[in-house]
Amino acid sequence: MPEISSKPSSVPGRASPLFLRESEIRHGVELLYFGYSHLVSSADSLLAQHKLGRAHHRALHFIARRPGLPVFELLRLLGITKQALSRILIDLVRENFVLQKVGTSDRRQRRLHLTPAGAELEAALFALLRNHMAAAYAQAGQEAVTGFWAVLSGLIPPEDRAMIAALAQPARED
């Protein structure tokens, strides 16, 4: 297996022409594990200051992306149980990071919005991630980033890709 260097390289390791071999796939999985762990760990200390965890971070991210996001959509995006989401939202509302508003056409629906404090925390968390991602993107180059996106998209089940694409659209107030 290729060695993982702690020093950034200007030319990342190239996949072998036999990139579908088990050793190449294992190497990709390992890079994904380590890369993700190091990326999100940059935000852990800031989250800890607020007694929050990574699930809270993901919720803040998606609420920031889609102000007015219905609770049921956040549940789908996070892929967690209703009970787990309930605990997360209780924490975020209690700490004044998230507001739950009643839907305009369906009063049973709860829509989620960041408070100013929530928006500030989410922006600070995103800045930490952005710095790491921007450095990695710059090192890899546009073509590699496009390939990376293609690989990550390929990991998402086809039926969920529309849900991810919809994040770029504002939430509808139903």
| Span 112-155, pLDDT tens digits | 999 999 999 999 999 999 999 999 999 999 999 999 999 999 99
pTM: 0.82
Q: Is 31 exposed, middle or buried (0-12, 13-18, 19+ CB in 10 A)?
A: middle
121, amino acid identity: L
| Span 70-116, pLDDT tens digits | 999 999 999 999 999 999 999 999 999 999 988 676 667 789 999 99
- Full set of structural domains in the chain with CATH: 22-168 (1.10.10.10)
Give, for 108, the enclosing helix (H) or strand (E): none
92, amino acid identity: L
Query: How far apart (Å, rounded) are the C-alpha atoms in residues 153 and 145?
Result: 12
Query: How far apart (Å, rounded) are the C-alpha atoms in residues 98 and 118?
Result: 6
Site of tokens 């594990």: 33
Site of tokens 């921007």: 134
